[in-house]
Structure 1
Amino acid sequence: MITDLEMPVMDGITLCNEIRKKYSREQLAIIGISGAINGTHSARFIKNGADDFLRKPFCLEEFYCRITQNIDNLNNIEKIQHAANTDYLTELPNRRAFFTNAEPCVQQYIKDKATYCVAIFDIDFFKKVNDVHGHDAGDHILKVFALYLRKHLGTGLLSRLGGEEFSVVLSGTDKKELYTKLDQFRENVASSAVSYANTEINYSVSIGVVFNSTKTLTQQMIEADAALYFAKENGRNRIAVADKI
């Protein structure tokens, strides 16, 4: 945004202050301009939320350079934030991003009394895939698994928690519908061999899930993880519901 200091109703410095109440420096760049002789306006602009300042009259080339520089800064911030919140291998949100984004989502579902679930997935015998076929094959399985998640459960908040563990917060019309979606996903994974280096690799997934809880996301994740452990201890390639174990 570019704002002059001298404007009717509200001056540019006040405008900067008001805009910063809604938009951070990571979201919006502000360039202040002024033809006033007072030399303190540049400092006042910066102090009240502007990222840059130009004094009128200015060189048109410098004006465009300042705009380009601020756009580049925003792009660099976006890239850094993406790297900090995205799993490098699967391009899914990472654990940090999941907890940041899912907590307010869960609280809204609770407030609206909406039907939803929190589920954790763990690829069965993943270490065996790495041992038999190599770590490159294991990485390929993780990428394919992430694609399956996007295809079948992409309406939810997905993440790779770490290793071979993934998660989702998913809403639906009723508990049965959500369970069916998770189970169909599990069946699809188990029935779809993955091609890698002239080899067909079969694998399955175990799922622990919590439905319609009013607890915090952290507590729900603990309960979903306990259900996941139960699923793996009782044969794998199955879903375990937290309140039924």
Structure 2
Amino acid sequence: MSYVEFRDVKKVYKTGEVEINALRDVDFEIEKGEFCVIVGASGAGKTTILNILGGMDTLTSGSVKLDGREISTLNKRQLTAYRRYDVGFVFQFYNLVQNLTALENVELAAQICKEPLDAATVLKQVGLEDRMANFPAQLSGGEQQRVAIARALAKNPKLLLCDEPTGALDYNTGKAVLKLLQDTCRNTGTTVIVITHNQALTAMADRVITVKSGTVEKVVMNDNIRNVEDLEW
């Protein structure tokens, strides 16, 4: 049994009489501890996949499982608990609380979890040992994204979901953040899923899922995984 499983997933959005098939026949699996990149053009359906897996959206039909647990049948209250305890999120925009320090931002997330990691320790791991007392406005974009990653990791999640995590960053800073995500996966065994439109990032993944027009076009296992430092785009 795989760690993440999508089986025949369909998602239909209705606006009045119009039905839009956001996802159809989506099938894939991801193993525990893998670094997975889901790649596709804008509007391909990759963010819908992430939202369903993250418990932020529901599916129309099919089955989604994480660690053997069927999440596609959870009610609203159960989904809230699932988002809180099982999944860490990193978005393109950092969504930090502006009037809290870096440390307080991470502690805030740790407070709602069952088995959180120590906030200061996680901030040290992401290279922000000297920036813990700084507010978001006193941090660069890359540093703010590191706080966001630390916040997600402090939850000790089963899954780390990253939606275009370098979208708001410059090239070199983006590379540093991706290296942090890759290292986190390798060093802690966290299952990391990165959603991106950037084909170059597929070279750093264990598994590459290509999404096109609302369905999975192909799934490729990468035999020649490259370090982020070696990638160019």
Q: Same fold by TM-score, threshold 0.5 exceeded?
A: no
Give the structure-1-normalised TM-score.
0.23
Largest Rg, 1 or 2 = 1
Q: Which has the higher strand share?
A: 2
Higher RCO structure, 1 or 2 (CA under 8 Å, sep 6+): 2
